[in-house]
Amino acid sequence: MTQMTLEVNLLGHRGDGIAQSDGGPVFIPGALPGETVSARVANGRASDVTIVTASPDRIDPACRHFEACGGCSVQHYAEKPYLAWKQDMVVKALADRGIEEPVGETIAGKPGSRRRAVLTATRAGRAILLGYHEKATHKLVDIKECPVLDPAIVQSLAGLKSLCSELMPKKGDLRLTVLATPHGLDVAFEQANKAYDSRFAALSTLAMTHNLARLTVNGETLIEIRPPALTMDGLTVVPAPSAFTQATAEAEEALSKLVLDNIGKAKKVADLFAGIGTFALRIARHASVHAVEGDAAAIASLDRALRVPKGLKKVTHERRDLFRRPLMAAELNAFDAVVFDPPRAGAQAQAEQIAASKVPTVIAVSCNPATLARDLRVLLDGGYRIKTITPVDQFLWSSHIECVVTLEK
């Protein structure tokens, strides 16, 4: 391990500063471009970092847990360069696939807006710790605040700990997914003590005391005081416990607006990896939609939402594993536009079929610039061209970025 003075010239895609040394790049946690630091270096990683000359873009972190917690990596970066960094993440990912197209400015996220959190609980003697893991460790940070999360979740941390104390397994950690809805928190525990059913009365009392909308343990809903419904353009959807939803309502609106603005006058739209209908329900106010999703619970949520007449255009849905059985080009040719929003792994097989189709308009939504770039390369090679690329900062102060790309044949 060598003591070195380093000049930071880049911010890496995971939020570490990067400096060049005789031995190659050095990754420096917490450092920002333009800073001079002194650090101990081994195997291209810096530790015991001291800021010698600070960047003018360095600001005070918003959270007391920032230096330890692994949830945020760039709270200490001023907003303007921070948003430019997120934009540049998309630019570089596309460039790696030979795609050089203008990338729009990042649509900013807001503190206190993240409505969905996946937390971990563990025992520390007689105490329960609840929060996120430290950066690159299994040690848990017992959070007292989180400026990213919806205040309703933060205010319920003590109540969630009470529930955790009833559900902790004999060994290992307890995981919980918390969704803030207009009707209260929807809380789903996983890996809970298998004897939880003997604590049903206590758990139900705690759920009511802390005003939860729904409490689910190991896949079983113990109590639903109110349906934890989300509203999408005036339409009501109740997601399954721990189901995927867009992380913030603001980002969901921004993504949906981009999708709707760019499908134009399409009359028939395929919504692939449709989830609970985030885009499909909104599109259905203007065009008929065929929603395809592999998760049975998500499709069931969409189906229930459609059972109440809402003056929509025709909506059909299909449960189908699009990784194993993508919609084929011949099927896709029936649509005027295709929207696809896959998980982080992307949608290569589906992109190959879209590329072979005659669909005039394609809108790709992704939370992973690397797999997005791979899928876009397939579409470009199949005869599409990119019209717009818009990053959306759904994951505030983290190294993740959402993106919407519109293409035409």
Percentage of the chain exceeding pLDDT 70: 100
Q: Are 24 and 7 a contacting pair, CB within 8 Å?
A: no
Q: Is 200 annotated as a binding residue?
A: no
Looking from the CA of 168 toward its CB, the CA atoms found within 13 Å total 20
Q: What pLDDT shows up at residue 148?
A: 97
17: which strand partners?
A: 11, 28
Residue 316 pLDDT level (bands cut at 50, 70, 90): very high
Q: What is the pLDDT of residues 212-231, one digit of tens each?
A: 999 999 999 999 999 999 99
The residues near 235 (Cβ < 8 Å, ≥ 6 apart) are 281, 282, 305, 310
pLDDT of 405 > 80? The answer is yes
Q: What pLDDT shows up at residue 308?
A: 82
Residue 21's region, left for phi above 0, alpha for psi from -120 to 50, else beta, is beta
Residue 340 pLDDT level (bands cut at 50, 70, 90): very high
Helix (H, G, I), strand (E, B) or coil at 56: coil
Residue 126 pLDDT level (bands cut at 50, 70, 90): confident
Q: Enter the tokens of residue 314.
A: 């025709």
Q: Is 341 annotated as a binding residue?
A: yes
Q: Enter the tokens of residue 305.
A: 């939402």
> Which tops the pLDDT comparison, 393 or 233?
393
Residue type, 273: F
Which residues carry out catalysis? 367
Host H or E run for residue 83? helix 79-95
pLDDT of 310 > 80? The answer is no
Q: What is the pLDDT of residues 130-176, one digit of tens each?
A: 999 988 788 899 999 999 999 999 999 999 999 999 999 989 999 99
Q: Is 246 annotated as a binding residue?
A: yes
Domains of the chain: 2-58 (2.40.50.140), 84-110+245-408 (3.40.50.150), 116-224 (2.40.50.1070)
Q: Is 273 annotated as a binding residue?
A: yes
Q: What pLDDT shows up at residue 210?
A: 94
